[in-house]
Structure 1
Amino acid sequence: MARAPFFPPPPVAPAPTRAFARMPPAVFPGIMGLFGLGLALRRGVDVIGYPPALPEMILGGVSLLWVLATLAYGVKLRQRTGVILDDLAILPGRTGLSAMSLGLLLLAATLLPYMPQGAAALMFAGLALHGVIAALILYVLTKGPEEGRHVTPAWHLHFVGFIIAGLVAGPLGYGLLGMTLLVGSAIVAALIWAVSLVQLARRIPPAPLRPLLAIHLAPASLLGTVAWLLGMQGVAVGFAVLGAVILAGLVVTIRWVTVSGFSALWGAFTFPLAAYTSLLFALAGPYPVLEWPALGCLIACLGIVPAIAIRILQMWTKGTLAAKTNAATA
């Protein structure tokens, strides 16, 4: 008697993923870089003389993009609040969520010429939000494996990023707050720079992580700009010189830094360069000799920042960014 044919059961279809359940935080550093480009263009209007509407249009579009991306991550949090700790457990998640909270401070700087009171409210909200993110990062680092506690350039984002509030505090007359941010952030940044130098001398960073070295430029740029806003031109020039040294080091070693090819961590190249461009434009008023270096940095920004940010955004829309950065699922 012939056996009845055996047909294996059909494979079980994977459960459908809810909308934004795997929203990747790694999209935010690129958005942060676009914010920086818009603010650099705004500061360069008086130096170069192009239409002031150009930076305002860019900043308006970037602000909307940040709001949409933040709302998307908010949907992810609503689905499972604890997912934020899973995202913070990995390096791309920590850098991304720090950039997300710092985006609120950059939004405050964007709105400053139009809504001073609204900018002040956003500044304090941004400081509070970034404080929560920094505290959660400390918690995750202390509870996680010991090898994850090594100082990385991304620590500037986590623990020095508060200095971005100084871009708003100074112009609004919060001089004490601005000075506190300047001094406190400078101390923390100096410690991170010192430890990073020792680590770099002892151990070559893995190729995929080398783009993060560009973040070292951001604190020097922001500290210099905030010092300039507080009327401390000599200090601002000092940070500009330090930034020039860091930038020169990055330019000389760029092939070594980028040897592993493009990744989401290339977002680290965007905001630091834009922030340094802003500092040079600020100093170009009292020091006209800096106009040409500022213009050169701006041209580099216009070529580098949108290209990297758009590529990261394309990875997000295609669904590959979450997988490549190991984003957590709600």
Structure 2
Amino acid sequence: MQNLSVSTTHARLEHFPAAFFAMVMGLTGLTLAWQKAAQIVDAPQLISQLLLGFSASVFVLISLTYGLKLIRHRQAVLDEFHHPIKMSFFPAFSISLILMSVATLTVSMSVSKALWGLGCLLHLGFTLYVLGQWLHHPRFEVAHSTPAWFIPVVGNILVPIAGVEHGYQELSWFFFSIGLLYWIILKTLIFNRLFFHDPLPQKLLPTLFILIAPPAIGFVSYIKLNDGLDGFARILFYAALFLLLLLLSQLPKFTKIGFFMSWWAYSFPLAASTVASLLMLELQPSAFMLNLALMLLILTTAVIGMLLVRTVKAVLSGDLFQPD
């Protein structure tokens, strides 16, 4: 019985996916939404403080677990790292560091700066690696292109949110430019796949919500870089709002999908939309924007709460640790 238990633990560790880092992105995004809500609509600060502690704990736990997988199942990690779809989830680790740097700005500038620097360095490395793989595409097919491809390259658009606070204005523009340019290119490629090729498999359907994140978080970064609302900022915000409406109108299709780690793709885009709406409320106050921001805050909190419950159940049952 003990040998069976050890064997089961090893099997779970071997199939522990890098997609778990999407949890950290969602939880930290929710933390940022509640931090912004505390500033704009006088939400209780205690909520964001508790969320920050919980997000950091989950990040450490997932990092240690995946580090253990690297030690004990190195080949499984290498296989995942070279997989044409799964490789896109590794940069969720560096994005988590960048998001943590934003969330800790009010806690410790030195900790935030260290997290930001490490996150930027790692993410630039991931970006160069992934783009290099795409350029030489010995194993990539149209079927491999999914919205998850946004994570390694378009994720650069997050950098200015903390970068400007730390005084790295030009470096922030560098990362923002990468994220913005490749968002446009990759969005075109992804839409081409969705419009003219086989539809996404059900397991990957939730990744469609990732389409919302670049314009939503791009709006926040652009405001940081320009310190004001202008026409381009409005384009980014309303593009994100339209994509949110488009995907919410498809809700019946998403409710029929079994639970996978890909469900966490709902979390960060919703959180990014919430933060963007709260920022727009701050810059352009109106009853409509107030109601939108509050509804999104409630929706995002409820969705991530549901995702946590479903994830805990799936972890305990072992359903998330199955080979593809």
Q: Sort the TM-score into its range (normalised by shorter chain).
A: 0.7 to 0.9
> Which segment drifts farther, 183-192 or 250-259?
250-259
Shift of 1:74: 0.8
Q: Which residue of 1 aligns with 2:266?
A: 269
Residue of structure 2 aligned with 1:79, choices 46, 62, 72: 72
Q: Deviations over 1:21-51 (max 9, x none)?
A: 4432232212321111111010111222122
Q: Deviations over 1:82-135 (max 9, x none)?
A: 433211344673344222221111111121112212211211111222233344
Q: Which residue of 2 aligns with 1:278?
A: 275
Mark the runs of 5 or more structure 2 residues left unpaired by the alignment: none
Give the whole-Å Cα distance in 2 for the aligned partners of 1:92 and 1:264. Answer: 14
Q: Deviations over 1:134-188 (max 9, x none)?
A: 4454566656633277432111111111222222102222111222222221111
Shift of 1:194: 1.5
Shift of 1:243: 0.3
Q: Deviations over 1:53-78 (max 9, x none)?
A: 21011111111111111011111112
SS across alignment from 1:248: helix
Q: Which residue of 1 aligns with 2:320?
A: 321
SS across alignment from 1:220: helix
Q: Which residue of 2 aligns with 1:6?
A: none
Pair 1:287-2:273 in alignment: no
SS across alignment from 2:16: coil
SS across alignment from 2:98: helix
Give the whole-Å Cα distance in 1 for the aligned partners of 2:311 and 2:90. Answer: 15
Counterpart of 2:252, as a letter, is: R
Give the whole-Å Cα distance in 2 for the aligned partners of 1:172 and 1:30. Answer: 26
Question: Does the 8 Å CA contact 1:95/1:154 hold for their aligned counterparts?
Answer: yes
SS across alignment from 2:158: helix
Give the whole-Å Cα distance in 1 for the aligned partners of 2:312 and 2:117. Answer: 28
Question: Does the 8 Å CA contact 2:85/2:144 hold for their aligned counterparts?
Answer: no
Give the whole-Å Cα distance in 2 for the aligned partners of 1:91 and 1:267. Answer: 19
Q: Deviations over 1:229-286 (max 9, x none)?
A: 1214223322110001100110111222443333221111110000110011112112
SS across alignment from 2:43: coil
Give the whole-Å Cα distance in 1 for the aligned partners of 2:143 and 2:128. Answer: 14
User: What count of residue pairs does the alignment treat as equivalent?
Assistant: 314
Q: Which residue of 1 aligns with 2:184?
A: 190
Question: Does the 8 Å CA contact 2:160/2:176 hold for their aligned counterparts?
Answer: yes
Pair 1:226-2:225 in alignment: no
Q: Which residue of 2 aligns with 1:132?
A: 125
> Which segment drifts farther, 265-274 or 150-159?
150-159
Q: Which residue of 1 aligns with 2:25?
A: 32
Shift of 1:198: 2.2
Q: Which residue of 1 aligns with 2:44?
A: 51
Q: State TM-score, norm by structure 1.
A: 0.86
Query: What's the C-alpha RMSD, in Å, of the aligned pairs?
Result: 2.5
Higher relative contact order (CA 8 A, sep 6+): 1
Give the whole-Å Cα distance in 1 for the aligned partners of 2:215 and 2:305. Answer: 22
Pair 1:106-2:99 in alignment: yes
Give the whole-Å Cα distance in 1 for the aligned partners of 2:295 and 2:304. Answer: 14
> Which segment drifts farther, 55-64 or 74-83?
74-83
Q: State TM-score, norm by structure 2.
A: 0.88
Change (3 A) 1:168 1:317: farther
SS across alignment from 1:199: helix
Q: Which residue of 1 aligns with 2:303?
A: 304
Change (3 A) 1:320 1:183: same
Give the whole-Å Cα distance in 1 for the aligned partners of 2:321 and 2:125. Answer: 23
Mark the runs of 5 or more structure 1 residues left unpaired by the alignment: 1-11
SS across alignment from 1:233: coil
Q: Which residue of 2 aligns with 1:259?
A: 256
Question: Does the 8 Å CA contact 2:161/2:224 hold for their aligned counterparts?
Answer: yes
Question: Does the 8 Å CA contact 1:92/1:265 hold for their aligned counterparts?
Answer: no
Question: Does the 8 Å CA contact 1:27/1:313 hold for their aligned counterparts?
Answer: no
Give the whole-Å Cα distance in 2 for the aligned partners of 1:174 and 1:48. Answer: 29
Shift of 1:197: 2.1
Give the whole-Å Cα distance in 1 for the aligned partners of 2:46 and 2:165. Answer: 21
Question: Does the 8 Å CA contact 2:267/2:300 hold for their aligned counterparts?
Answer: yes
Give the whole-Å Cα distance in 1 for the aligned partners of 2:17 and 2:192. Answer: 32
Question: Does the 8 Å CA contact 1:25/1:92 hold for their aligned counterparts?
Answer: no
Q: Which residue of 2 aligns with 1:212?
A: 207
Q: Which has the higher helix share?
A: 2
